[in-house]
Amino acid sequence: MPQRLLQIGPLLPALEARLATTYDIHLLHKEPDPKAFLAAHGRDFVGVATSARFGADAALIAALPNLKVISSFGVGLDAIDLGAARARGIAVGYTPDVLNDCVADTAFALVMDVARRFSAADRFVRRGDWLQGQFPLATKVSGKKLGILGMGRIGRVIARRASGFDMDVRYHNRKPLADVDHVYADSLKALAEWADFLVVASAGGAETRGLVSREILDALGPRGYLVNISRGTVVDEQALVDALKDGRIAGAGLDVFEDEPNVPEALFALDNVVLLPHLASNTHETRAAMAQRVEDNLAAFFAGRPLVSAAY
Ligand code: 8YV
């Protein structure tokens, strides 16, 4: 008998198809009344397949009394109640590392785009404005100062990308890291004051909520740019909108938002922001590797082996 798995939201179609060949998988998001379904059938499932977007909250975990394993598509664990899972001895798998390159590439694309204004220049050409005159001057990237908030797996790859642009890199983290050569800023404010570009690469969740506050944005200042490829929750979004509107920072490149897919409408009118629909890991190659890791984590669990990538 195949293991019974509950899928929490839509996944990559190729992954859904592959999971369906190995497991008896049920799609919770197709249920008209998911709560009633869980109350009636919650005990049937031993596994959950989910993503960083849909997660698995405490209520879901509680509704699945026989749950033994969660396999999530994504590196972010902020939408999974790890405390609730751990307390029940539920294994949690996720997909770190395989997306580092693409997320770091996206961070760099945003650094380039917001400073050199390539997206704005593309709009300028499409509007026919080139026929009227030259596009205004932009800001140089190479050789500038890049501050990284969160020197984890992705932060380190961003730092490597920066070295190709002859940038000076500093970082702020919960604590200095012995295996990182870059200068450690002992506060986020000091990092923001120093940086031309502040790139947010920390994890989401309660610990980092609102870290990039009005005070930090003011420390970054009218010549500084903010780039966020981690979670919208790390930035006080209203403070960011205000800082952008008032010209208290130079611009922002954002792949993530507080309440996705809702983006503050005030940002649409601003030409000094680049807005992406949370696409950093969204390439054929990386999504295939993430899908493989979701499958591998489940296969390892059901074979009685340690997960390939375990959250704890
Ligand atoms: C994906 C992400 O967009 O890995 C993460 O934490 O946020 C992204 O890679 C997400 O997993 C899709 O659900």
Amino acid, single-letter form, for residue 42: G
Give me the chain's average pLDDT, please. 98
Model confidence pLDDT, tens digit, residues 140-152? 999 999 999 999 9
Task: Report the CATH number at residue 233.
Answer: 3.40.50.720
DSSP H or E segment with residue 156: helix 153-163
Query: Is the same domain home to 8 and 134?
Result: no
Model confidence pLDDT, tens digit, residues 33-67? 999 999 999 999 999 999 999 999 999 999 999 99
Residue recorded with tokens 């120093």: 194
Query: Is the same domain home to 207 and 296?
Result: no
Distances (CA, A) of 91 to 6, 27, 41, 239: 15, 20, 21, 38
Q: What percent of the chain has pLDDT over 90?
A: 100
Query: Is the same domain home to 182 and 202?
Result: yes
Query: Is the same domain home to 161 and 238?
Result: yes
Range of the domain at 89: 4-98+285-302
Q: Is 182 a catalytic residue?
A: no
Contacting residues for 195 by C-beta, under 8 A, at least 6 apart: 145, 146, 147, 170, 220, 224
Instruction: Give me the pLDDT at residue 121, please.
Output: 98
187 has a pLDDT exceeding 90: yes
Q: Is 260 a catalytic residue?
A: yes
State how many domains the chain has. 2
Query: Is the same domain home to 123 and 110?
Result: yes
In a domain, 307, yes or no: no
**What's the gap in Å between 255 CA and the centre of ligand 1?**
11
pLDDT band at 248 (very low <50, low <70, confident <90, very high): very high
Q: Does the model's ipTM exceed the 0.90 cut?
A: yes
Instruction: Give me the pLDDT at residue 1, please.
Output: 87
Q: Is 265 exposed, middle or buried (0-12, 13-18, 19+ CB in 10 A)?
A: exposed
| Average confidence (pLDDT) over 283-290 | 98
Measured from the CA of 231, which atom of ligand 1 is nearest? 7
| Average confidence (pLDDT) over 127-136 | 98
Question: Among residues 170, 231, 287, 293, which one is catalytic?
Answer: 231
Which of 234, 233, 229 is CA-nearest to residue 276? 229
Query: Is the same domain home to 131 and 225?
Result: yes
Model confidence pLDDT, tens digit, residues 190-213? 999 999 999 999 999 999 999 999
In a domain, 308, yes or no: no
**What's the gap in Å between 75 CA and the centre of ligand 1?**
6
| Average confidence (pLDDT) over 111-118 | 98
Residue recorded with tokens 């798995």: 5
User: CB of 309 closer than 6 A to ligand 1?
Assistant: no
In a domain, 309, yes or no: no
Distance in angstroms (rounded) separating the CA atoms of residues 52 and 71: 10
Neighbours of 80 (CB within 10 A): 27
